[in-house]
Chain A
């Protein structure tokens, strides 16, 4: 059956979405974004602990080897988190969006020799689905006619250290600081520091955690547009690095290479705070169709 395209509506083929997702899965797991590499290099240059410095040198060496020899940066090629911004003037044709994304993940993980880490039932049989499907998909309708996909392979070690706390509004910045520092200190070496720390503040409980997840995909070194939030990010980064946890928790002056905060208005009674940690292998890759 053919459909007539209405003027002002752009068609995006499901097959093209699947092919692009497959490609992004492979690139994201082998090539670390430049901004992350720059952050790690800066950490290596400023690290005060000799052992911590050695760890950072080997982490940077790993980045080169992964890209050159096409060996995944990390054996945990993650839960495939896929963020899709769909322009409201886009019409997806030729299949179901979620099916297309999962077809892409399956192809990308199978043909790319990536590890399948998803189990079908979370508390019962836990049988591996063998191709890393299903992806965790977040869709957002945005103005325009672009279709933008971001693939974030999210490792279990850091994801398991996530935290959500709904605080009394009176706790303010001090309360947020306490939650962030406690989460990182208690996580120790488990999330593979130096980290990219994603912090969501505000919204509702589920939206707050999504803000934290979005925060980890912001380029390292790019601060919040809001001057007050940007200042809080710098303050928190210094405090996180004063914890002494260091690269791989061997002790050192670089526990994080960035603290990114995303905020949203919230209810008069609430101050939701979510922390989502991203390991030094802060993998993500975007493309526009």
Chain B
């Protein structure tokens, strides 16, 4: 089963169908297993250009996951370096074209524009947040990495990752639900107070 919901957590393994995506709602905490493809700015530009020229994409994205990441180089003996998400908004202009090709899951950070949100609904797909700046934690869930296209782009090349328990939170679902908007409304005017205890004006540790 591609989607298994149990004890408040959702396990998800691609490829996904429309029916699988229908089970995911904004705010769901999901752990991914299996294959994830990476792509960010430069790779998106090339993929969308390929589509415009009616050329095939470097991989079959139907039912698959794309993760917006440009990792640090792996230390010797490691699979990958730090591997957290990059800002998704920059990929907005390229996203609808890939969703139309059958891409089902996108993982990044930050909000999406209205055009992308509508494309998610139209194509029955979801957008999730991985925790930005948690690249060391996320790195540990990645069990293998192969560069499969655009090797010349270095950190921006398309990589095929195999993951076990990669954590993410559904931000935009196929029903138009948006966690970022709902969350902000729910917690508006409930601040943690600004009376942080002032520490002695010590220098930062040398």
Query: Per-residue CB proximity of A74-116 to B under 8 Å, as 1/0?
Result: 1111000000000000000000000000000000000001111
Whether A54 pairs with B29 at a CB distance below 8 angstroms is yes
Task: Evaluate whether A249 and B183 lie within 8 angstroms (CB atoms) in the complex, with A75-B70, A115-B72, A192-B109 already known.
Answer: yes
Whether A71 pairs with B180 at a CB distance below 8 angstroms is no
Residues of B close to A77: CB separation below 8 A: 72, 82
Whether A62 pairs with B137 at a CB distance below 8 angstroms is yes
Query: Per-residue CB proximity of A197-219 to B under 8 Å, as 1/0?
Result: 00000000000000000000101
Whether B183 pairs with A253 at a CB distance below 8 angstroms is no
Within 8 A of A (CB), among B179-206: 179-180, 182-206
Whether A113 pairs with B132 at a CB distance below 8 angstroms is no
Q: How many residues of A contact B (CB 8 A)?
A: 84
Residues of A close to B193: CB separation below 8 A: 46, 238, 241
Closest to B200 in A: A222
Task: Evaluate whether A113 and B72 lie within 8 angstroms (CB atoms) in the complex, with A249-B111, A281-B133 already known.
Answer: yes
A174 within 8 A of B: no
Bound CA–CA A116/B75 (angstroms): 14
B121 within 8 A of A: no
B176 within 8 A of A: no
Within 8 A of A (CB), among B112-164: 129, 131-137, 139-140, 154-155
Task: Evaluate whether A243 and B198 lie within 8 angstroms (CB atoms) in the complex, with A59-B134, A75-B82, A281-B133 already known.
Answer: no
Whether B196 pairs with A51 at a CB distance below 8 angstroms is no
Q: Kindly provide the distance from the CB of A47 to the nearest chain B CB, expressed in whole angstroms.
A: 7
Residues of B close to A16: CB separation below 8 A: none
Task: Evaluate whether A157 and B188 lie within 8 angstroms (CB atoms) in the complex, with A115-B73, A115-B155 already known.
Answer: no
Residue from A59, A76, A233, A239 within 8 A of B131 (CB atoms): A59
Query: Per-residue CB proximity of A261-289 to B under 8 Å, as 1/0?
Result: 00000000000000000011100111110
Q: Kindly provide the distance from the CB of B197 to the nearest chain A CB, expressed in whole angstroms.
A: 6
Whether B199 pairs with A222 at a CB distance below 8 angstroms is yes
Residues of A close to B197: CB separation below 8 A: 221
B89 within 8 A of A: yes
Q: Kindly provide the distance from the CB of A133 to the nearest chain B CB, expressed in whole angstroms.
A: 16
Whether B136 pairs with A69 at a CB distance below 8 angstroms is yes
A43 within 8 A of B: yes
Whether B192 pairs with A250 at a CB distance below 8 angstroms is no
A258 within 8 A of B: yes
Whether A71 pairs with B139 at a CB distance below 8 angstroms is yes
Residue from A69, A70, A225, A233 within 8 A of B194 (CB atoms): A233
Residues of A close to B186: CB separation below 8 A: 49, 244, 251
Bound CA–CA A234/B136 (angstroms): 32
Whether B187 pairs with A252 at a CB distance below 8 angstroms is yes
Query: Per-residue CB proximity of B81-110 to A under 8 Å, as 1/0?
Result: 111101101000000000000000000011
Q: Kindly provide the distance from the CB of A222 to the nearest chain B CB, expressed in whole angstroms.
A: 5
Residues of B close to A222: CB separation below 8 A: 198-202
Bound CA–CA A63/B77 (angstroms): 21
Bound CA–CA A145/B17 (angstroms): 67
B169 within 8 A of A: yes
Task: Evaluate whether A113 and B89 lie within 8 angstroms (CB atoms) in the complex, with A48-B187, A58-B167, A249-B184 already known.
Answer: no
Residues of A close to B140: CB separation below 8 A: 65, 69
Residues of A close to B184: CB separation below 8 A: 243-246, 249, 251
Stretch of A3-11, A32-40, A136-144 on the interface side: A32-40
Q: Kindly provide the distance from the CB of A164 to the nearest chain B CB, expressed in whole angstroms.
A: 20
Closest to B181 in A: A251
B-contacting residues of A (Cβ < 8 Å)? 33-35, 38-39, 42-43, 46-49, 51-52, 54-55, 58-59, 61-62, 65-66, 69-77, 113-117, 128, 155-157, 160, 188-190, 192, 217, 219-223, 225, 230, 233-246, 248-254, 257-259, 279-281, 284-288
| 13 A–B contacts from the bound complex (CB under 8 Å) | A33-B204, A59-B131, A69-B140, A70-B75, A72-B135, A75-B69, A156-B86, A156-B87, A157-B86, A253-B187, A253-B192, A281-B133, A288-B206
